[in-house]
Amino acid sequence: MANTRAQEIAEHLRKNILSGTYLPGSRLHEETLAEETGVSRTPIRAALRLMDAERLVNYFPNKGYVVREYSPDQIRAAYQTRAVLEGLACRQAVERGLSNSFKNSLKKCITEIDVMLKKGSLHKDNVLQWRHWNAQFHNQIIEASGNESLAAAINLVTRIPMVSNSIIVWSTFDVVANFHEHHRQIHDLLCRGLAGRAEFAMREHVEQGGDFIVSKLMEAESSG
Amino acid sequence: MANTRAQEIAEHLRKNILSGTYLPGSRLHEETLAEETGVSRTPIRAALRLMDAERLVNYFPNKGYVVREYSPDQIRAAYQTRAVLEGLACRQAVERGLSNSFKNSLKKCITEIDVMLKKGSLHKDNVLQWRHWNAQFHNQIIEASGNESLAAAINLVTRIPMVSNSIIVWSTFDVVANFHEHHRQIHDLLCRGLAGRAEFAMREHVEQGGDFIVSKLMEAESSG
DNA sequence: ATACTCTAAATTGTATACATTTTGGAATAG
DNA sequence: CTATTCCAAAATGTATACAATTTAGAGTAT
């Protein structure tokens, strides 16, 4: 895993763009980044090109790179796209046949969150954990589909500056509990081999996630 | 549109990889490419990074770039992914509302191919035209969906070395005629506002395209 | 004041030189 | 003959110098 500098820089940029350290619309100045990270412009430029291909920044030839901005409509559209893709992941995972180790591994994602929710509220410290097990749940299904193109497409579509990693919006307990029920249902449908129902349950799950995020963003926009 | 050298090189590579001039599995040597194109390694490397992000090549750190190889299973998976995505494009295009100019423009893609097929056989010279109007049909629907993420995901998934641009396999008249009927049906469903049926008609259309390509590839593999 | 031109600074794009890593084969030991 | 070690050649990764383009602001004319 001894990567090249450019890849480390790419990881650095990805993280800071997704988390909002580099805000949407802000310019990414090559020399500044080079000084910040202690390398020359060469690997910086290589990393920036990757960010462009990953749709995290906009590239304007001879002008530079700007962190990509998403309107609420665009975010909604991205979630709708993700919804059909993750639905497909469920269907193909079933069609391919689920191993017992997969079923157990997926079950763990649910029981871990069970523990957190048992208290009736979600502690600040648990949010990171919740994000971990939530991501695990989704990623394991995607991997179980055995469809590389699908995985790549989902990656492309889910990484949105300042949204993907936004922690705050998920703090509403009721919503988290509701999504947790979705996961439980999806797990059940998968294990019972009900490919079609699992597909659409996942679709709806992701669509609701998108609805929630967009509504939260609109809220924040109008108030602050 | 006055692009940078790196972008020109990227276009050059993309074209040659998709068309099979650079065969899957073959190594892309930086200095050789630099000599071929008459530029230094710098823009070559920039372009190669893009090819990596577009999944047209595999990048092995400190080793180099190799044109990506797809197994029949992977190609099938890519088509299945594309199928749900283009299905979504149909649904969203309807939900968004179709302009008259769009309907006519889409209709033209059908009538143009009508002319070609009227003779009962497909001339060699027409194949390029057919590919043009076929691509137009699909792209117009994608554009009409107004979903940028969706368009990006489809681009990612449809560009497969030596397959996307393979002309030969589409030369079977009956198959082309059948797909043409699909287009006619999809156009009709779209214009009648039947979003759900259009979604699944397109899904099935693309899936059948995948079936055909994979079967042709297997054929060619076992014979040659 | 406004709009325009022109120039210098700033920024990105490319070429080249150098550093690091990988590769391949000769030499050698078993 | 096989396997191993080691070194030189080749290829990729990075830094730096230079070219081309864009940007910003002073100066000027209307």
Kindly indicate the confidence band of residue B14, based on its pLDDT and cuts at 50, 70 and 90. very high
Could you tell me if A180 and A122 are in contact, meaning their C-beta atoms sit under 8 angstroms apart? no
HEC secondary structure over chain B: CCCCHHHHHHHHHHHHHHHCCCCCCCEECHHHHHHHHCCCHHHHHHHHHHHHHCCCEEEECCCEEEECCCCHHHHHHHHHHHHHHHHHHHHHHHHHCCCHHHHHHHHHHHHHHHHHHHCCCCCHHHHHHHHHHHHHHHHHHHHHCCCHHHHHHHHHHHCCCCCCCCCHHHHCHHHHHHHHHHHHHHHHHHHCCCHHHHHHHHHHHHHHHHHHHHHHHHHHHHHC
Q: For residue A220, give every residue at least 6 positions away whose Cβ sits within 8 Å of its Cβ, in sequence order, or none.
A: none
**Segment B105-161, tens digit of pLDDT:** 999 999 999 998 887 777 777 888 889 999 999 999 999 999 999 999 999 999 999
- In this complex, the residue of A3, A77, A88 whose CB is nearest that of residue B150 is A77
Q: What is the pLDDT of residue A1?
A: 39
Q: Map residue A162 onto helix, strand or coil.
A: coil
Query: What's chain A's Rg over C-alpha atoms?
Result: 19
pLDDT of residue A185 exceeding 60: yes
Least confident of A43-47, B59-63, B170-174, B195-199: B170-174
Q: What is the pLDDT of residue B168?
A: 58
Mutation target to probe the B interface, by most B beta carbons within 10 A, among A57, A81, A154, A213 is A81
Kindly indicate the confidence band of residue B1, based on its pLDDT and cuts at 50, 70 and 90. very low
CA distance B59 to chain A (A): 11
Q: What is the pLDDT of residue A164?
A: 77
Could you tell me if B111 and B160 are in contact, meaning their C-beta atoms sit under 8 angstroms apart? no
Q: What is the pLDDT of residue B4?
A: 87
Q: Which residue in B102, B128, B69 sits closest to B191, CA to CA?
A: B102
**Which chain A residues contact residue B157 at CB under 8 A?**
149-150, 152-153
B62 touches chain A (CB under 8 A): yes
**Segment B16-71, tens digit of pLDDT:** 999 999 999 999 999 999 999 999 999 999 999 999 999 999 999 999 999 999 99
Residues 157-176 of B with CB under 8 A from A: 157
DSSP state of A215: H
What's the mean per-residue pLDDT of chain A?
A: 93
A40 touches chain B (CB under 8 A): no
Q: What is the pLDDT of residue A169?
A: 55
